[in-house]
Amino acid sequence: MSNLDKDFVKLTSENLILQDIINLVKDDGAGAITTFNGTTRNTFKGKTVIQLEYESYSPMAEKVLSDLIHEARTKWELTKTAIYHRTGIVPVGEASVIIAVSSVHRQESLHAVEWLIDQLKDKAPIWKKEVYSDGSVWKENAESRQKV
């Protein structure tokens, strides 16, 4: 089985369903599935958040996400991986990004998921606008800014 059969990347305006993405990475040889389910919260620094809006350069973003999975595979022994990210409007309480990784042992998938979300926020050409009850702002990724 090639990595094309093991790795799943998608940018979509549709709702992300955690169980559907977990099902993509299930494997009888994997003893662990680790997930990150990033959801839109209702506040940020005391402001009421109404929704998030994501834009991306999809062909490049999908390539970056695929490249990140490839790099993760050089660091850890992973069975299957999936990175799904919403585009468009994401209301409070809905998932913006889901990462799921299966591996034989838990440490591999735990480390990979943490690394993948950090790298996604740092490198993927996906932009977020926070819409508040009193306005909106395009957000720079705080993790990336702190590295400078």
45 annotated binding-site participant: no
In a domain, 133, yes or no: yes
pLDDT for residue 144: 45
Q: Is 86 annotated as a binding residue?
A: no
Domain count, the chain: 1
| pLDDT value for 40 | 97
Q: How far is residue 141's CA from residue 100's CA, in Å, rounded to a whole number? A: 22
Sign of CA dihedral 59, 57, 63, 73: negative
**Residue 139: what pLDDT?**
87
Check whether 147 is labelled as a binding-site residue: no
Burial (CB < 10 A; 0-12, 13-18, 19+), residue 131, is middle
Which residues of the chain, if any, have pLDDT below 70? 1-4, 141-148
129 is in an annotated binding site: yes
Question: Does residue 105 fall inside a structural domain?
Answer: yes
- Whether residue 1 is contained in a domain is answered as no
CATH (domain of 104): 3.90.1170.40
Residue 70 annotated as part of some ligand binding site: no
pLDDT at position 25 is 99
- Give me the pLDDT at residue 5, please: 86
Question: Is residue 131 a part of any domain in this protein?
Answer: yes
> What pLDDT, on a 0 to 100 scale, did the predictor assign at position 95?
99
